[in-house]
Structure 1
Amino acid sequence: MAQHLKFIILFAFSLSACHISAQSLRKLMERPFGIIESKWETNTQGDRELNYYNEDYCDYYLYRMNDRSYNLTPGKNTIFKIEKNASFENSFKSASSYRYYRGKFPKDFQIGTPYALPVKDGQKTGWQTDPREPVKTLNFRIKEGDTIYATRSGVACTTANPRQLLIYHPDQTFAAYLVMSENFIQPGEEVQVGQAIGKAGPLRVSISFFFLDENKFKGGESSGYPYSHFIPVFRTTQGDVKLKEKTIYQAVIDDELITQDMSKRDKKKYMKHKNQK
């Protein structure tokens, strides 16, 4: 009886975990409640401004019906201003339909940009498609409890689930790390490629790479799912390769990979610090 009950509990947990995973990516991309606020304010010159305050650490794309759309960077964004004593029609005085989307349209996206495997340097892993996700998501072969490493540098966005991690890269692409048992990274933290970011759960770790796709928008508004997913090339002992599914590769995390998203100044500081060790 006890064994039968244990089986039922484990089976129920498995179904629950799969259900959570199946909803995880879509939930992850939703805008956290209250993270963007709009205000009419008067500046020091007496001008009236419509300001949007983005309290997240990644960009958002704001679509407004009957108006142009806007990119909202973290912090204050002034999207409309009425100069003091000006007399003209205010197009913002009436309510408008609007939507927010995480990210903004990439301007310098390169499919050949190399990524690190989500394991430590020299470790082996492979991937298979995660059937629980509706879009292309890579489930990596990592043992439960093993450390997960960042595949690329960027900043951690705010997420509703503390065990999930969303990294926003310098070229406006994202990496979503799903179903981790533990997340080491706090929102707003700058993450370096190859940095330990969490621990794998019983379902290993699934990662999805994607960007907000301008081609999926018509007249400023998305006609459906607004993101495009891709499989990047990964740095391995075989070079920078697009991994074949269910094939094992050995990870390489070298100085070139670590510094590829750094400014010239930060690269110089990194190499100086390394040479002093």
Structure 2
Amino acid sequence: MKNIRFKAAAAFFLMSVSLPSVSAQSLKSLMRMPFDVVESKWEINSINGNQELNYYNKDFCDYYLYRQQDTSYDLSPGKNTIFTIRENEAFDNPFKNATYYSYFRGRFPKKFNVAFPYALPVKNGAEVSWKTDLREPFKTLNFSVRQGDTVYAVRGGTVCMTNNERQVLVYHSDYTFAAYLMLEKKLVDPGTEVLAGEPVGVAGPSGVSVSFFFLDENKFEGGLASGYPYSHYMPVFRTSEGDVRMEENKTYKAVTDDALIMQEMSKREQKKYLKNKK
């Protein structure tokens, strides 16, 4: 599988990756699929009598069903019919043979806009800096907020299921993720649709750490998954200095304006948002 344009953009903006330490478990545990969240069943269609292989995704984000040396599938939330045998049809079932398979959160992005502006995870007008969180196995930004401070969504999206009450995972419309780690508690439930600038959690004693990543198609080549299948990136943040890629340990003032919040809304949604704001 090749996606040259996407691969070039990802390669240019990929952040350095460090080896995991024994205590770096937060992000690693976050990306594990919650128990029994995807279920597969062979079922008979009551309308046409066809036999179907259905996958039921109980989460609120997509999953990628990876089948080695075989066809793989994107599983949207809800019912996914991935194979059908018509009634009375003589057909060799390709699923009768055993194969290695696994599930990964997300799907491959088709458009990756490296200039897309994000909000900072603090209230509008607050000042904040970041440093690399060395506790995490991959590049993660630890923001300088105080324990008990509200943590805000950096971008609109859907809250996914997690295994830990101190984690929030938000799935964006372009199939990227933002993971909010080291929280004291979370303020949103799975399935919640959040907007940029809305509260998602409360900061813990070491602030809040946020990691940005996507399921990378270029790590699934030649019928094999190459180790860690995600790539991390550094977003552009909206600040009083404009939309910038923030330097480490430098303080910036957050700007979470209506234009930033509404940028992925339809015209109808924008009109409703502005009306409700009055």
TM-score w.r.t. structure 1 length? Answer: 0.90
Shift of 1:219: 2.9
What residue number does 2:269 align with? 266
Q: How far does the alpha carbon of each residue in 1:36-65 deviate from its partner, in whole angstroms, 9 at most, with x for none?
A: 000000002100000000000000111113
Choose which of 243, 262, 266 in structure 2 pairs with 1:240.
Answer: 243
Which stretch shifts more, 103-112 or 85-94? 85-94
Give, in whole Å, the separation in 1 of the partners of 2:92 and 2:252: 62
CA distance in 2, matches of 1:220, 1:113: 32
How many residue pairs align between the two structures?
Answer: 257
1:264 Cα deviation after fit: 2.4
Match of 2:125 in 1: 122
Deviations 1:97-154 (A, max 9, x none): 2110100000111111000000000000000000111211000000011111110000
- Please give the alpha-carbon distance, in whole angstroms, between the structure 1 residues aligned to 2:105 and 2:137: 18
SS in 2 for 1:193: coil
- Given candidates 189, 193, 213, the residue that maps to 2:192 is 189
Identity %: 60
1:151-188, Cα deviation, whole Å (9 max, x unpaired): 00000000000110000001100000001001001011
* Aligned 8 A contact 2:69 2:223 in 1: no
Residues in 1 aligned to 2:192 and 2:99: alpha-carbon distance in whole angstroms: 34
Q: Secondary structure at the match of 1:270?
A: helix
Of 18, 27, 30, 2:29 maps to 27
Say which of 92, 103, 109 aligns to 1:89: 92
Any residues of structure 2 matched to 1:38-77 within 5 Å, and which?
38-43=40-45, 44-77=47-80
- Maintained 8 Å contact 1:68/1:220: no
Separation (CA, whole Å) in 1 of partners of 2:211 and 2:262: 22
- Asked if 1 retains the 8 angstrom alpha-carbon contact of 2:66 and 2:103, the reply is yes
- What is the distance in 1 between the residues matched to 2:87 and 2:70? 23
Query: What is the CA–CA distance in structure 1 between the aligned matches of 2:148 and 2:240, rounded to whole Å?
Result: 25
How far apart are the structure 2 equivalents of 1:122 and 1:160?
33
- Amino acid in the other structure paired with 1:88: F
Q: CA deviation at 1:271?
A: 2.2
Higher relative contact order, chain-length normalized (CA < 8 Å, sep 6+): 2
**CA shift for structure 1 position 19:** 6.6
Letter in 1 for 2:137: P
Return the offset for 1:256: 0.8
Task: Tell me, yes or no, if the aligned pair for 1:116 and 1:253 is still in contact at 8 Å.
Answer: yes
Residues 220 and 60 (structure 1), Cα distance of their counterparts in 2 relative to 1, 3 Å cut: farther
Q: Over residues 173-207 of structure 1, what are the superposed CA-to-partner deviations in whole Å (9 max), with x where a residue is unaligned?
A: 00000010010010111111000111111111100
> Aligned residue for 1:12?
none
Q: Quick check: 1:104 aligned with 2:107?
A: yes
What amino acid is the match of 2:192?
Answer: E
How many angstroms apart in 2 are the aligned matches of 1:103 and 1:254?
A: 28
Which structure carries more helix by proportion?
A: 1
Alignment of 1:165-244 (within 5 A): 165-244=168-247
The two structures, once aligned, show a CA RMSD in angstroms of: 1.3
Look at both structures and tell me which one has the larger radius of gyration over its CA atoms. 1
CA distance, structure 2, for counterparts of residue 272 and residue 200 of structure 1: 31
- Give the Å deviation of 1:270: 1.3
1:146 is aligned to 2:149: yes
* Displaced runs of 4 or more, over 6 A: none
Provide the rounded CA distance (Å) in 2 between the counterparts of 1:158 and 1:213: 21
TM-score by length of 2: 0.90
8 Å contact kept, 2:70–2:223? no
Deviations 1:45-96 (A, max 9, x none): 1000000000000001111133211000000000000000101211112332
Q: Tell me, which stretches of 5 or more residues in structure 2 are unaligned?
A: 1-20
Q: Does the Cα contact within 8 Å between 2:180 and 2:208 map onto a contact in 1?
A: yes
* Structure 1 residue identity aligned to 2:78: G
